[in-house]
Amino acid sequence: MVVGLRAIGAKGPGWLWRGPWAPLAASFCSQGPDGARRPEPGPRPTSVRQRDGIRSIVLSNPKKRNALSLAMLKSLQSDILHEAESQDLKVIIISAEGPVFSSGHDLKELTDEQGPQYHAEVFQICSEVMMLIQNHPVPVIAMVNGLATAAGCQLVASCDIAVASDKSSFATPGVNIGLFCSTPGVALGRAVPRKVALEMLFTGEPISAQEALLHGLLSRVVPEEQLEEETMRIARKIASLSRPVVSLGKATFYKQLHQDLRKAYHLASQTMVDNVALRDGQEGIKAFIQKRKPVWSH
Amino acid sequence: MVVGLRAIGAKGPGWLWRGPWAPLAASFCSQGPDGARRPEPGPRPTSVRQRDGIRSIVLSNPKKRNALSLAMLKSLQSDILHEAESQDLKVIIISAEGPVFSSGHDLKELTDEQGPQYHAEVFQICSEVMMLIQNHPVPVIAMVNGLATAAGCQLVASCDIAVASDKSSFATPGVNIGLFCSTPGVALGRAVPRKVALEMLFTGEPISAQEALLHGLLSRVVPEEQLEEETMRIARKIASLSRPVVSLGKATFYKQLHQDLRKAYHLASQTMVDNVALRDGQEGIKAFIQKRKPVWSH
Amino acid sequence: MVVGLRAIGAKGPGWLWRGPWAPLAASFCSQGPDGARRPEPGPRPTSVRQRDGIRSIVLSNPKKRNALSLAMLKSLQSDILHEAESQDLKVIIISAEGPVFSSGHDLKELTDEQGPQYHAEVFQICSEVMMLIQNHPVPVIAMVNGLATAAGCQLVASCDIAVASDKSSFATPGVNIGLFCSTPGVALGRAVPRKVALEMLFTGEPISAQEALLHGLLSRVVPEEQLEEETMRIARKIASLSRPVVSLGKATFYKQLHQDLRKAYHLASQTMVDNVALRDGQEGIKAFIQKRKPVWSH
């Protein structure tokens, strides 16, 4: 089954829209003079297809180094959100056309010509996309073949799993142009040791794929010619699993991660009890004891 | 001195029993019909001996791959708790018989035949054992020679120090049988980078001892023939130190780790002042200045 | 421009003095009998010079292994604080004379002869210096060539960036003399994985520069003969950037690091909007679009 997605107008479920954005959001919901200056929408900057439970989203504006323009971010957001609750979706892969995975924000959107309300919208949508990846019910894999900088590096850091070719590299060079990578630093600072993050943020210098693996920014590094095969192997594995079991586990993992140990175990123990009680939980355990392959009902 | 422990009925001190378990615990304290279905206790699944301040607890059910059944968990718990406050105890080593360190929960305890109250008890006791290791007054070392999966991997992640042979490997494969390793994820997510933890949890695939070392799950990897020697070297070193000094330091380390920096320094500074005031604190400093070996009074 | 600093009486700005120290501080602000026993101040134990925005602070008491005595800590504190708000200061490097970077506290200050109020002052000043490094408006780099132990290791862990020669090593050996490195553990536990920190704290054994790099305690390891060159390269790079941009980014990085993800993104997004609105923010973006070098107004 191949599903072409043109998810214009896709709306996310309730779990995606909560939190302290209200004041920031309110300021640019008014269609003031800034709104008038917004660039017209062009052709869709991402392409997407879905087969056998695996949705592949491709950043498809290599001429602009796959910059995370407002249009790109909105396209990415709607591709991720599209039918997020469908049982046909098991895993998402985000990759890119061309030698640059993504160069981060489109700097033309951050000049004086657009006002601070427009700038706020850019950073808010960007942050929402990054959080959406963690809040999404299925695992999201970054497949990186090339340079990922600034918000592009943030996108890699925000995915649940990241596989990269050995020629890839990663940087947060905003400081060179007077724009410290503070939002990328949120994701980077949660992925790599503090000293690694700070050297990247303060100097803007790139790290190699091997260094990124060593420090936890990547899950796996492979030669370029094996990148797609290796990523698909992981994706097919995840697609073969019970979707509700994976979703429950993913949500609990992120929720418990910053709780104190006792609260975390209380939550995770309750999740285990709930998981065992799921139809797929009992099916999996029975299949194991009976030494047969489980049949998921999802 | 060799002390054979059969710590039936061992009770832990007050510092071990606090926290938000009450509602969950209440539900299975009632001896309802589930209780009636519990398996009869068999021979004790751990063996334990203590010599020169070093307590060695061995998971001793290799036929069942040292599964952390309820009986195994209770046996482990009582071995860890036994005379925890005794000055004769300086360090604990947890190891296992056979090629599998531990395969995690006993899946036969997680079927429909036992009800959710029984399942809840299994996960609660398991969580308590893991927290007990951190709350215990002496350091706990995992000595791993083989495969550690699911709650077995969690046990390794929960110890203060973990030494493994280079043939060991580690996995959280619950997702394969429809039971996401959410409780192991609590310990794993605090030991390794997020992307490493998530790939292990989502794919169920094992990582090698070297990878586990690289990512922080292990303290040290050695050839199999040096495993016991190296572990004992660390244990003897710890056993030669002042027990109250080590206990105070361990408790403060875990307490400050997730506090904000200012609170953490406030706590740790107070601990330093208290430590200096300990008899062994003054003895150690004097011995150092006088260039002699300290004599601890514990 | 070379500025010799003798920052006697330097006072820090308001942002440095907040937090829960009051009760501890109050106890030793009274000049009681302990005060009378304090050692007389000797020659200044640090040397400092500043050129082209780069301040170099050198621990200069190699005969005493650059122990962080109260005098050393106060000297270091005033060197770091001196004209912290000056636009002429862009980055600080902390290094040391002799084969030992720093051996940690001066144990002669921690005997019974000084009372607990004096001990409390030592640990408080030490903690303040460590926090000052993170709260300081410019990046602080540790340049290490040799052994850094106890509070000396804490100092390395507390810097934003740490470059070391490959002959350097790092330890928290307090436990050997009955004084667990609890305050060093605050910084160490935030720099390296928990199991690495605990093995260092419980055994007191050193780790090599390569291990320290692997585990996140260092940003970079180089051969001894390249240490100064490499450190200066990083420092010059930072000194070439916009100071207010770097300051804003540094403050936000540390602030967001332990917030929950949504709060962190809210804060960092606001910082990005503020950063874009800075004169240097707009200059940098314009220079990039116009393909010219930016001219910072700071």
Specify the pLDDT at position B211.
95
User: Is some CB atom of chain B closer than 8 A to the CB atom of A192?
Assistant: yes
The 10s digit of each residue's pLDDT in A59-78 is: 999 999 999 999 999 999 99
Beta-ladder partners of B50? B3, B55
Classify C177 as helix, strand or coil. helix
Percent of chain C with pLDDT over 90: 83
pLDDT exceeds 70 at position B17 = no
Q: What is the mean pLDDT of residues A9-31?
A: 36
**Order of strands, sheet of C207-208, starting from the edge strand that comes earlier in the sequence:** C100-102, C147-149, C169-171, C207-208
| Binary contact (B285, C179; C-beta < 8 A) | yes
Q: What is the mean pLDDT of residues A113-129?
A: 94
pLDDT confidence bin for B30, thresholds 50/70/90: very low
| Domain definitions of chain B by residue range | 2-239, 243-289
The 10s digit of each residue's pLDDT in B215-256 is: 999 999 999 999 999 999 999 999 999 999 999 999 999 999
Residue with tokens 């990547």: A218
Q: Which residue of chain A comes nearest to B118, CA vs CA?
A: A273
Specify the pLDDT at position C114.
87
Specify the pLDDT at position B114.
87
Q: Which fold has domain A2-10+19-239?
A: 2-enoyl-CoA Hydratase; Chain A, domain 1 (3.90.226)
pLDDT exceeds 60 at position A130 = yes
Q: Which of B111, B130, B158, B177 to mutate to test the interface with A (most CBs of A within 10 A)?
A: B177
User: Is some CB atom of chain C closer than 8 A to the CB atom of B294?
Assistant: yes
| Binary contact (C263, A179; C-beta < 8 A) | no
Specify the pLDDT at position B93.
98
The 10s digit of each residue's pLDDT in B151-190 is: 999 999 999 999 999 999 999 999 999 999 999 999 999 9
The partner residue sitting opposite C285, judged by closest CB among A110, A190, A201, is A110
Specify the pLDDT at position C298.
86
Q: What is the CATH number of domain A243-289?
A: 1.10.12
Question: B178: which chain A residues are within 8 Å (Cβ-Cβ)?
Answer: 241-242, 245, 275, 278, 280-285, 294, 296
Question: A219: which chain B residues are within 8 Å (Cβ-Cβ)?
Answer: 195-196, 198-199
Q: How far is B8 from chain A (nearest CA, A)?
A: 26
Please provide the DSSP assignment of A17-81 as one string: S-STTHHHHHHHHS--HHHHTSPPP-S-SEEEEEETTEEEEEE--GGGTT---HHHHHHHHHHHH
User: Is some CB atom of chain C closer than 8 A to the CB atom of B298?
Assistant: no
Residue B145's closest CA among B218, B76, B73, B92? B218
pLDDT confidence bin for C112, thresholds 50/70/90: confident
- Which residues have C-beta within 8 Å of that of residue A20, sequence separation ≥ 6? C262, C263, C266
Residue B153's closest CA among B129, B184, B110? B184
Are B146 and B167 in contact by the 8 Å Cβ rule? The answer is yes
| Binary contact (B272, C197; C-beta < 8 A) | no
Q: Among A6-15, A178-187, B28-37, name the most confident range.
A: A178-187
Angle formed by the axes of helices A243-256 and A116-135, nearest 10° = 120
pLDDT confidence bin for C35, thresholds 50/70/90: very low
User: Is some CB atom of chain C closer than 8 A to the CB atom of B182?
Assistant: no
What tokens does A122 get? Answer: 């850019």
CA angle B116, B122, B127 (to 5 degrees): 125
User: Is some CB atom of chain A closer than 8 A to the CB atom of C198?
Assistant: no
Residue C218's closest CA among C250, C191, C185, C190? C191
Specify the pLDDT at position B21.
36
| Binary contact (C272, A183; C-beta < 8 A) | yes
Specify the pLDDT at position A43.
81
The partner residue sitting opposite B199, judged by closest CB among A215, A219, A256, is A219
| Binary contact (C191, A193; C-beta < 8 A) | yes
Give this prediction's pTM: 0.88
Q: Which of residues 4-23 of B touch A (CB under 8 A)?
A: 19-21
| Binary contact (B276, C179; C-beta < 8 A) | yes
CA dist B284 to B53, B235, B236, C184, C285, Å?
20, 20, 18, 18, 59
| Binary contact (A189, C253; C-beta < 8 A) | yes
For β-strands C207-208 and C169-171, DSSP reports them as: antiparallel
Give the helix, strand, coil percentages of chain B, each rounded to 5.
Answer: 50, 15, 35
Percent of chain B with pLDDT over 90: 83
In the DSSP assignment, the letter for residue C200 is H
pLDDT exceeds 80 at position A144 = yes
Distance of CA A143 to the CA centre of its chain: 11
Q: Which of A276, A289, A291 to mutate to test the interface with B (most CBs of B within 10 A)?
A: A276
User: Is some CB atom of chain C closer than 8 A to the CB atom of B209?
Assistant: no
Chains B and C form CB pairs within 8 A to the count of: 163
Q: Which of residues 244-273 of B touch C (CB under 8 A)?
A: 245-246, 248-250, 252-253, 256-257, 260-266, 268-273
Are A147 and A101 in contact by the 8 Å Cβ rule? The answer is yes
Q: Which residue of chain A comes nearest to C290, CA vs CA?
A: A108
Q: How far is A220 from chain B (nearest CA, A)?
A: 9
Element (H, E) at C194: helix C194-203
Are C184 and C153 in contact by the 8 Å Cβ rule? The answer is yes
Specify the pLDDT at position A212.
97
Q: Which of A91, A133, A275, A297 to mutate to test the interface with B (most CBs of B within 10 A)?
A: A275
| Binary contact (A194, C214; C-beta < 8 A) | no
Gap between the Cα atoms of A159 and A131, Å rounded: 9
Write down which chains contact chain A via at least 3 CB pairs under 8 A.
B, C
Mean pLDDT of chain A: 88
The 10s digit of each residue's pLDDT in C142-165 is: 999 999 999 999 999 999 999 999
Q: Which of B18, B122, B179 to mutate to test the interface with A (most CBs of A within 10 A)?
A: B179
| Binary contact (B183, A262; C-beta < 8 A) | no
The partner residue sitting opposite B178, judged by closest CB among A262, A270, A285, is A285
* Higher pLDDT pick, C83 / A11: C83
pLDDT exceeds 70 at position B202 = yes
Are B185 and B197 in contact by the 8 Å Cβ rule? The answer is yes
| Binary contact (A182, C273; C-beta < 8 A) | no
Question: A294: which chain B residues are within 8 Å (Cβ-Cβ)?
Answer: 177-178
| Binary contact (C272, A123; C-beta < 8 A) | yes
- Which residues have C-beta within 8 Å of that of residue B29, sequence separation ≥ 6? none
Q: What is the CATH number of domain B2-239?
A: 3.90.226.10
The partner residue sitting opposite B262, judged by closest CB among C107, C131, C180, is C131
Q: What is the ipTM of this complex?
A: 0.87
Q: Which residue of chain C comes nearest to A21, CA vs CA?
A: C266
The 10s digit of each residue's pLDDT in C257-290 is: 989 999 999 999 999 999 999 999 999 999 999 9
Burial pattern B188-220, b for ≥16 Cβ within 10 A else e, equals: bbbbbbbbbbbbbbbbbebbebebbbbbbbbbb
Q: What is the mean pLDDT of residues B17-34?
A: 34
Gap between the Cα atoms of A109 and A39, Å rounded: 9
Mean pLDDT of chain B: 88
Question: C190: which chain B residues are within 8 Å (Cβ-Cβ)?
Answer: 257, 261
Q: How far is A250 from chain B (nearest CA, A)?
A: 8
Specify the pLDDT at position B229.
98
Specify the pLDDT at position B133.
98
Q: What is the mean pLDDT of residues C35-42?
A: 49
Are A201 and A187 in contact by the 8 Å Cβ rule? The answer is no
User: Is some CB atom of chain C closer than 8 A to the CB atom of A221?
Assistant: no
Q: Which of residues 112-151 of C touch B (CB under 8 A)?
A: 112, 116, 119-120, 123-124, 126-127, 130-131, 134
| Binary contact (B179, A285; C-beta < 8 A) | yes
pLDDT exceeds 90 at position A206 = yes
Q: Which residue of chain C comes nearest to A120, CA vs CA?
A: C273
Gap between the Cα atoms of A202 and A200, Å rounded: 6
Least confident of B160-164, C25-29, C98-102, C131-135: C25-29
Q: How far is B30 from chain C (nearest CA, A)?
A: 38
Q: Which residue of chain B comes nearest to A141, CA vs CA?
A: B199
pLDDT confidence bin for C11, thresholds 50/70/90: very low
